[in-house]
């Protein structure tokens, strides 16, 4: 079982390592390796943004083991782009599905009705399956990127 908590400064290095993991980079829309200094600046500003919510997934059976992150970027007050990253050591355990499910529940409780969107590479079958199982439907595909959308009621 995964529990969530807001990201804090302690999480910066783990998120940078997860993002730069070769498997994560290959699945990302931006496949470049992120330099540490660029990440530090991005992460610090992300923690201060009212329109970004980063939640760290923690293994409830083995705290404080961090197993991933679910991020919501609110592009309008009632709409957010959601993304997940599973820690390399936690892959293959169903963590991505739990991160997304618990993240959606968190947003529903704190923000009410939100239209959720995602953009996923067509080659990223694991993420497509996770989002579709959570009720996201494909809305369009441009090149190798599939857009999905789900409306969630509180």
**The token pair that represents 61 in the structure block:** 């059976």
Residue 148 scores a pLDDT above 80: yes
For the chain, which domains are there?
2-152 (3.40.630.30)
User: Within 13 Å of residue 72, how many CA atoms lie on the same side as its CB?
Assistant: 26
Q: What is the pLDDT of residue 46?
A: 97
For residue 126, pLDDT over 90 is answered with yes
Distances (CA, A) of 71 to 7, 16, 78: 10, 14, 15
78: Cβ contacts below 8 Å, ≥ 6 apart: 113, 114, 115
Start-to-end C-alpha separation, the chain:
22
The C-alpha atoms of residue 140 and residue 68 are separated, in whole angstroms, by: 27
Predicted confidence at residue 153, as pLDDT, reads 53
- Return phi, psi of residue 58, to 5°: -120, 135
pLDDT band of 76, cuts 50, 70, 90: confident
Total-model pTM: 0.94
> How far is the C-alpha of 136 from the C-alpha of 117, rounded, in Å?
8
Both tokens assigned to 11: 């999480």
Is residue 65 within 8 Å of 25, Cβ to Cβ?
no
């Amino acid at each position: 079982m995964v529990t969530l908590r807001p990201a804090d400064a302690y999480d910066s290095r783990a998120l940078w390592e997860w993002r730069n993991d070769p498997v994560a980079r290959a699945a990302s829309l931006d496949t470049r390796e992120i330099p540490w200094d660029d990440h530090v600046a991005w992460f610090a500003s992300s923690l201060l943004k009212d329109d970004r919510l980063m939640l760290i997934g923690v293994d409830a059976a083995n705290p404080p083991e961090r197993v991933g992150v679910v991020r919501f970027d609110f592009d309008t007050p009632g709409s957010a782009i959601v993304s997940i990253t599973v820690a390399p050591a936690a892959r293959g355990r169903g963590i991505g599905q739990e991160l997304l499910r618990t993240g959606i529940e968190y947003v529903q409780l704190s923000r009410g009705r939100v239209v959720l969107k995602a953009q996923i590479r067509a080659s990223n079958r694991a993420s497509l399956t996770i989002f579709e199982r959570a009720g996201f439907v494909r809305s369009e595909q441009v090149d190798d990127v599939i857009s999905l959308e789900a409306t969630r009621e509180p």
